[in-house]
Structure 1
């Protein structure tokens, strides 16, 4: 049953993305598929880059802990670090993993990039639409 629901969820997501990108009403809007794809791939690259950075830092010392008080380190496998990187980039974190040491600075930098890149995308999209008119 769960496999069916996962498949259905993926189908719904793909259908909605297809509809969004191919709907004729959006052709006259500020939306740019090229800019969107560029933003998607840049954010994905930044997320992977920071995950690699956290992984390199984790080879020397713990970079993620469960709580600040007991400093229980989180397993530093790449998937955990990729998850942490994605959550930090896209939502400024959930709080389930806390950075320590140098990772704190890089987490702030990553969160700032996660806020500024989409903002720059929207400004570019609006500017692009004004030039077309």
Structure 2
């Protein structure tokens, strides 16, 4: 099941990020509800996708996330999506730490988190010039 779900999740993340590079999908004003919802959807897709990747590795008994406070009472489902959001919007708080291959996965998510706003602004500005 892991080997079936992991490529699907990675494909969904890729397709969501791919929309940033398709021309002329955002038209109109620079600040609009459509642009806000578009960016929010891309962020949500990446958070859920990476959260599922962390969770799938955990379900395969591969430890890639370790909580600093073992007595926190959070389950792995909560920790996976929390860590995904923290890595996308910042570089984490240190309360959940990646280990092993989780470090590489976290680096790719952080890279996407840093480049996503710049790609979005570039896309909106290029569409403004094409109108």
TM range (shorter): 0.5 to 0.7
Q: Residue 17 of structure 2 aligns with which residue? A: none
**Larger RCO, structures 1/2 (Cα 8 Å, 6+ apart):** 2
How does the TM-score come out when normalised to structure 1? 0.66
- Alignment partner, residue 87 of structure 1: 86
Q: Could you say what the CA RMSD is over the residues aligned between the two structures, in angstroms?
A: 2.5
Flag the structure with larger Rg.
Answer: 1
CA-to-aligned-CA distance 1:84-123 (integer Å, 9 cap, x gap): 0000011121222110011111000011111112111001
Aligned counterpart, 1:49: 49
**Distance in 2 separating the partners of 1:43 and 1:37:** 10
Question: 1:131 and 1:32, CA in 2 relative to 1: closer, same or farther beyond 3 A?
Answer: farther
TM-score relative to the length of structure 2: 0.66
Match of 2:106, SS state, is: helix
By how many angstroms is 1:66 displaced? 4.0
Conserved 8 A contact 1:47-1:82:
yes
Aligned positions of 1:42-81 closer than 5 A:
42-59=42-59, 60-66=61-67, 76-81=75-80
SS of the equivalent of 1:78 reads helix
User: CA distance change for structure 1 residues 43 and 89 in 2, over 3 Å: closer, same or farther?
Assistant: same
